[in-house]
Structure 1
């Protein structure tokens, strides 16, 4: 059972969800739209993890390249990296090996948020 749910707001949540699925491999679990067609609440799944997404108001500030708000564990880092790159993700840190045995990379989503991916599973 999950107990932590990162939540993201995007000016165009429908486009962001499509991109997150195409680039990072998420799957849409559930979407609830508001009366105006915006995303009031959505859930995206990756393996046994979940994030929540919704339509935000206004522009978001662009985080620093090393300010990883989200870390997602993946089985094959290099395949995942290539998928994200092919989908147009801005790779802000190319794949690298850590001293604790993980292989990691970082990419920016269309709203400017940096996501960190790696093989480390605590």
Structure 2
């Protein structure tokens, strides 16, 4: 059964929580090239909701404790021994350039930039609040080369 929005640009949108969401919005734009579509900060710099776009993709984020029931269901990496249960993957055309900007912005590289056996280059890093990000030039929507 398919029940997805027909004219939606991106039907899967990762949602993240940050302790300092306002600062992280700026960091994600500087380090990875996201663009702020919407942000709703309130008293005490609490972000109730923000939308950042990346090409035809998007993430939504908010402050850890923004008063919503959803925010009570999400742990931060440092509350889970530095582990994540899911990680966003960004498809980029110039992996070297994003690697350089992420590194310059202070991302901690946990898997250095490398050429992958399945195609493209990729790296994995931590943002300042410990969320894991994988970034690469491999596009899973492209038809892979035939193998024998």
- In structure 2, the partner of 1:30 is 38
Stretch of structure 1 that moved more, 74-83 or 28-37: 28-37
Query: Hey, what's the Cα distance between the residues in 2 that align with 1:103 and 1:68?
Result: 20
When the two structures are aligned, how many residues end up with a matched partner?
A: 121
Q: What's the TM-score once normalised by structure 2's chain length?
A: 0.75
* Large movers: runs of 4+ above 3 Å: 34-37, 62-65
Q: Is 1:68–1:115's contact at 8 Å kept on the other side of the alignment? A: no
Higher-RCO chain (CA-CA 8 Å, sequence separation at least 6): 1
1:121 Cα deviation after fit: 1.1
- Which runs of 5 or more residues in structure 2 are unaligned? 1-8, 66-71, 141-148
- Which runs of 5 or more residues in structure 1 are unaligned? none
Give the SS at the match of 1:95: strand
Q: Is 1:72–1:116's contact at 8 Å kept on the other side of the alignment? A: yes
Alignment match of 2:18 (pick from 10, 15, 26) = 10
Q: What's the Cα RMSD here?
A: 2.0
Alignment match of 2:94 (pick from 63, 76, 89) = 76
Q: What's the TM-score once normalised by structure 1's chain length?
A: 0.89
1:117 Cα deviation after fit: 0.3
Deviations 1:55-102 (A, max 9, x none): 01397234448x661110000001110011111111111111111112
Q: Is 1:68–1:116's contact at 8 Å kept on the other side of the alignment? A: no
Greater C-alpha Rg: 2
- In structure 2, the partner of 1:105 is 123
1:36 Cα deviation after fit: 4.5
